[in-house]
């Protein structure tokens, strides 16, 4: 399963969870990174996302899955 992990290079290379995995790196220039860091809404969104543990399984987020009226609790 793919996941997006964003941060400064120095912090990311210390992430033990990435060892042994194939990764794709996109380098943001400083202006783009600064724009993200200066945006309070994005900072609060990132903080909210970071406060939630990742799920160990995929989630059916299709339109049909959302409106089917059933819960798949795996």
Contact of 42 with 32, CB cutoff 8 Å: no
What is the reported pLDDT for 66? 78
Domain boundaries, the chain: 1-41
Contact of 8 with 21, CB cutoff 8 Å: no
The SS3 call for residue 53 is coil
Give the DSSP letter of residue 52.
S
The tokens of 23 are what? 């990764």
Contact of 35 with 29, CB cutoff 8 Å: no
Predicted TM-score (pTM) of this structure: 0.37
| Per-residue pLDDT reduced to its tens digit, 21-37 | 888 877 777 776 677 77
Mean pLDDT of the chain: 79
């Amino acid at each position: 399963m793919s996941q997006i992990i964003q941060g400064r290079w120095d912090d990311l290379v210390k992430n033990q969870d990435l060892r042994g995995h194939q990764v794709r790196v996109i380098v943001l220039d400083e202006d783009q990174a600064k724009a993200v860091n200066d945006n309070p809404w994005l900072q609060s969104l990132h903080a909210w996302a970071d406060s939630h543990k990742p799920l160990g399984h995929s989630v059916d987020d299709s339109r049909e899955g959302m409106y089917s009226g059933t819960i798949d609790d795996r």
